[in-house]
């Protein structure tokens, strides 16, 4: 029974053909034309893409064969800094607010001066 892969492949192909016939008979002509255009357009792009890919590939493998060997890189753990403050010293400091207490006003040069009046009532 060494032909079982052929039987499986034949079964898959026949299922695809039958399913395509059943589904295709229920679709409109415009949809079938669109699907055919997409399929044949994709098939037409494959050789063009292969030629462009072959023409633009770089000969990187040949360059690597003649390149000198790279020196090894040795990583060591960083040394500890002796004067680093601990987290507890930051907690003891007070946080000072830098928000301004008064409303800030800006003047744009070259623009008419506009006066903003805030009314006391909403309406």
pLDDT in tens, 36-61: 999 999 999 999 999 998 888 766 56
- Within-domain flag for 35: yes
- Within-domain flag for 45: yes
- Within-domain flag for 14: yes
Range of the domain at 60: 4-66
- Within-domain flag for 20: yes
- Within-domain flag for 77: no
- Within-domain flag for 40: yes
Residue 102 exposed, middle or buried by CB count within 10 Å (0-12, 13-18, 19+): exposed
Q: Distance between CA atoms of 42 and 45, rounded to whole angstroms?
A: 5
pTM of the shown model: 0.36
Q: Structural domain tally of the chain?
A: 1
pLDDT in tens, 86-100: 555 555 455 555 555
Examine the pLDDT at 119 and tell me if it is beyond 80.
no
- Within-domain flag for 43: yes
- Within-domain flag for 75: no
């Amino acid at each position: 029974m060494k032909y079982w892969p052929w039987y499986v492949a034949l079964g898959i192909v026949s299922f695809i053909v039958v399913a395509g016939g059943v589904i295709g008979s229920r679709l409109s002509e415009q949809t079938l034309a669109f699907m055919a255009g997409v399929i044949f357009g994709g098939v037409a792009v494959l050789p063009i893409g292969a030629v462009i890919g072959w023409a633009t590939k770089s000969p990187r493998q040949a360059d690597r064969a003649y390149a000198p060997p790279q020196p090894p890189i040795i990583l060591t753990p960083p040394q500890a800094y002796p004067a680093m403050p601990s987290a507890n010293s930051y907690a003891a400091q007070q946080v000072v607010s830098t928000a301004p207490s008064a409303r800030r006003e800006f003047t744009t040069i070259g623009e008419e001066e506009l006066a903003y009046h805030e009314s006391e009532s909403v309406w």
